Structure 1
Amino acid sequence: MKAYLEGCKFLPKLNNENSSKRNATYKERFASLQNLVLIMFEQDNVLVPRETSLFGYYPDGSFNVILPAEETTLYKEDWIGLKTLNEAGKVKFINLSGHHLQISISDMKKYILPYLEDESSR
């Protein structure tokens, strides 16, 4: 974990992983989203593991098991507000067949478009 935090400049900041540099404003803004749609593509070979698209990941020191988001420290300690959002029913975890970002028009209409429309127009 230490090498990751020191070597990777983007993800640790995005995931609020550095305990001495946690950004409360970032967490507050993320937790204030109206909805968060997370999509995992079953044949994704870009993200490793593909479950990271749903905030799942390996436990420290192991690459044999993948934890679902709810079992990760990021979620349990609510570093970015994901737990807050999920407990409020605002996170949609979706699995789709296909490769990385290859979403059909019908799946876009089903899983994404409803959250882009103005509520008054529904």
Structure 2
Amino acid sequence: MKELSKGYNIVGLSQGSLIGRGIVEFCEGAPPVRNLISVAAPQAGVASIPLNAGGTTVRTIANSIMKAGAYSDYAQKRFAPTGYIKLPKLYILFWQNIKGYLKSCKFLPKLNNERPNDRNPAYKKRFSSLKNLVLIMNENDTTIRPKESSWFGYYEDGSTKKVLQPREVPSSCNSLSYTPKVYIDFTSGLYCSQKNRFISSCFNNSTPVSLLLVRQLRHDGHMLDSVSTNGNVTNSQFNLQTKLYMEDWIGLKKLDKAGRVKFIKVEGNHLQISGAELLHYIIPYLQ
């Protein structure tokens, strides 16, 4: 379209954000997308059928299909959510797990460049050309499981308990927006409020602490927890991020290093966003 020849912006809601990202990555020679704003989207997949996928009858049918085989050709061709279902655990009855996802899921493995022998550099080049990527996560989202998928975070393979972070925590807190504000040792009551200092420099390593719970209080919409059993906090304890980010399959890390990714957390359940948050987090990227 001539009207879009100089570029345009996309706002995607939930699975619509995946379609928007598909336009960015898959459409060769298309008008450039400047800003992609993603609201409560399953960017890294979901571990179950979304709870609000229609009425009671639709949910019942959807979950039955899930149990019968989300990665079957029948389900993949007929039920949109199966295109981004990513089951981290092995379901023995139907042999569905990450291997099944990579082999038979039609949409998300391609979009995220997850197949080791079929990664397309063009997808990464197009995605990393965005001027801004705005990732908005609902803090109490019960539809996207895990909710961190809205930030490209996801469960560790084989688990539905440990969520891998969507981005790298740097050895120096100056390069990214994980700037420490306040750290609290809830066991001994120690306290540190020194900006731009990593936690290991805020505490005396000789302090006898049996269990140290370190929390980075909310900053730029993000919370970060870590547990140490010996009182020595090191960078390695924070480096539990996804391979998609570490190996930069789609250019997310490149965008982030350039300061073009905004990780935003808002209160509420799936797709709940206030007028004030809309004006603050979305409208500026449409102008």
Match of 2:119 among 18, 22, 46: 22
Distance in 1 between residues matched to 2:166 and 2:123, nearest whole Å: 19
Matches within 5 A, 1:1-122: 1-70=98-167, 71-117=241-287
Task: Compare relative contact order (CA 8 Å, sep 6+) and give the higher one, 1 or 2.
Answer: 1
Distance in 2 between residues matched to 1:24 and 1:6, nearest whole Å: 20
Match of 1:36, SS?
strand
**Residue number in structure 1 paired with 2:210:** none
Distance in 2 between residues matched to 1:116 and 1:29, nearest whole Å: 20
**Residue number in structure 2 paired with 1:120:** none
Give unpaired runs (5+ residues) of structure 1. Answer: 118-122
Match of 1:37, SS?
strand
Larger Rg: 1 or 2? 2
Q: Which moved more, 1:98-107 or 1:27-36?
A: 98-107
Match of 1:95, SS?
strand
Name the aligned partner's letter for residue 255 of structure 2: L
Distance in 1 between residues matched to 2:160 and 2:99, nearest whole Å: 17
Task: Give the structure-2-normalised TM-score.
Answer: 0.40
Match of 2:135, SS?
strand
Task: Give the structure-1-normalised TM-score.
Answer: 0.91
Distance in 2 between residues matched to 1:24 and 1:55, nearest whole Å: 19
Name the aligned partner's letter for residue 95 of structure 1: K
Give unpaired runs (5+ residues) of structure 2. Answer: 1-97, 168-240
Offset, 1:4:
1.0
Compare the two structures and name the one with the higher strand fraction. Answer: 2
Q: Which moved more, 1:78-87 or 1:40-49?
A: 40-49
- Structure 1's consecutive aligned runs of 4 or more residues displaced over 3 angstroms after TM superposition are none
Offset, 1:47:
0.8
Compare the two structures and name the one with the higher helix fraction. Answer: 1
Aligned length: 117
Q: CA RMSD in A?
A: 0.9
Offset, 1:7:
2.9
Offset, 1:59:
1.3
Percent identity of the aligned residues?
58
Distance in 2 between residues matched to 1:87 and 1:73, nearest whole Å: 16
Offset, 1:8:
1.4
Distance in 2 between residues matched to 1:9 and 1:61, nearest whole Å: 21
Match of 1:39, SS?
strand
Distance in 2 between residues matched to 1:40 and 1:12, nearest whole Å: 21
Distance in 1 between residues matched to 2:104 and 2:272, nearest whole Å: 30
